[in-house]
Chain A
């Protein structure tokens, strides 16, 4: 119980292990490890969070922090294909009262696409180049609905119309390469939402798109979420996207959560030095061009030999402030700093407060 409440970032009362949680989606101590010839890659190493319907959770972090692996783990995609036998997944993923990690693959398959759906980063490579866009949506609908092709086609046109594709009755017979980037991502969203999923996972949905199109896609996702009341996980490394759309933010580093909380709090009172680094490296229009961005120094951590203690300590400018060798030997657990706002850092609260207000905030 107490162990979970420390590691778990769940808001509110922690529920005991193996009991269905109250939350719509709850991830408990999720670990996704890949054995390779070079060693065990710990892509996700003990991640917990929960999400309610109608809310949007942004998962942020640099490449290799485990954010995409987490989203694919929820979808159960790692266990498929040739890599499926290699992955080691432990922990619990509860979706609407069903546990997915221990569930039979056929059970998860039935949920996939119907209760949980996913939008991918690059809609051009994520759609099959040989099939018409409409046919791909029809296929997604007919896996979970026993309807005729005609009915499914009507549904596909309806969805294309809903996501703002002009002349949907004509475009339904177009091929992915005949669509523009933004239109393709809209079609991808139509495909993901065709079964009214309650959980939508968007894995960097705007990264491959034109900046002007990005805002349109985010607006679309937000509108659709309001309309369908679904829960959304937005995986991104773009803090601009987070500010735009997220209710809650989860910052990942080296396969673990380092900070989590309501978006407003994480932006206004970020607690973790890594979050400070992310904020500092974000370009802003209201900043003088002569001021340089502050990059997070060093390399992302190896997921095979994760640094001991706090995984961020080799890159953390404040690693020497806590007494003793604690940052190098003890892994910091998530602690609640204010209601629903958790952070895993050894820095004493007063030091954090001081560094943020005196050193970091003025530079942003």
Chain B
């Protein structure tokens, strides 16, 4: 088991390096291949009518005059050992792990990401608990009484939930529950400051996000349960004289939940990399909003940082899923 985890961790690190190389290449190599010169790239960082000298200076400071692989090496070195940026008149030191420096608003990317992470984390984890519980419960009930009134109601809600985009449900929730009937707070408060207020402001976002996701989980659980409940080992469990409740939970749900772990890991990993739309709709200053900022400002270091963080979360979540899967299904442990 330990060697399995070590092997998987090693593979995850390699994968992250590959992702960083590809992302870096997309942002710094592709423009070159498409015919942009280093001068043109540097020009973005200067005011409207740059002088020749300015361009040369910026180009040199940003390392744009070096080959791309050297730039990539500096970037990776920065993550491990930190980096110093020469801004002409002054120099800025960016502590390790340095995921780049935004020259547009003169901030290192990493501290910005870590300060925003708790918000994204609050949103993702709260919503995940909600959707996992509601989705699985609805799915199990639907599977146990297929074609019943409850089944049709749950599956109807699920279909609605998965069909409505966040722009709609999110804005509707805000309109109804923070303006029409002001039950919930408007501005985010950190958990450490005021837990009640924290939950209060996040509830509409949690519910909107959970509605979107629980639909998928309800359907997944339903089909998984329908399948496992017709397995031979369920018949064996019943033949032992177990209570139906035990048969459903200990034997049926246990087996049906394993594939859900996989999907859950992926979803939570993706969300931690920034719930872009949800954060924008609910004005939550999380990582997703930072990504939007980076894209609208055409600020490459920000985008690169968010992309890498998101990739790291997805890779890490997958690693966790693999380990959990091995713990859940003894047949996986062999290989």
Contacts and interface: CB of A to CB of B under 8 A. Distances in A.
Interface of A: 72, 75, 77, 80-82, 109-114, 117-118, 120, 122, 125-130, 139-140, 143-144, 175, 177, 188, 191-192
A126 B240 CA distance: 12
Contacts of B226: 82
Q: How large is the interface on B (under 10, 10 to 19, 20 to 34, 35 or more residues)?
A: 20 to 34
Given A77-B235, A130-B328, A175-B331, 19 more contacts: A72-B235, A75-B239, A80-B244, A81-B229, A81-B238, A82-B145, A118-B239, A120-B232, A120-B239, A126-B232, A128-B237, A128-B255, A129-B330, A139-B240, A140-B240, A143-B240, A143-B242, A144-B241, A177-B331
A316 B30 CA distance: 79
B242 A82 contact: no
Contacts of B251: 128
A81 B234 contact: yes
B233 A112 contact: no
B254 interface: yes
10 contacts: A81-B238, A118-B236, A120-B236, A126-B232, A126-B235, A128-B251, A128-B255, A139-B240, A175-B331, A188-B236
B144 A82 contact: yes
A110 B244 contact: no
B256 to A, nearest CB: 11
Shortest beta-carbon contacts, A-B, top 5: A113-B241, A112-B241, A125-B232, A113-B240, A140-B240
Contact of A117 (B230, B239, B247, B254): B239
Interface of B: 143-146, 226, 229-244, 247, 251, 254-255, 328-331
Contacts of B328: 130
Contact of A127 (B146, B230, B233, B243): B233
Contacts of A114: 241
B258 to A, nearest CB: 8
A223 to B, nearest CB: 22
Nearest to B145: A82
Contacts of B240: 112-113, 139-140, 143, 191
A140 B254 CA distance: 18
B235 A130 contact: no
B330 A175 contact: yes
A130 B332 CA distance: 10
B241 A130 contact: no
Nearest to B251: A128
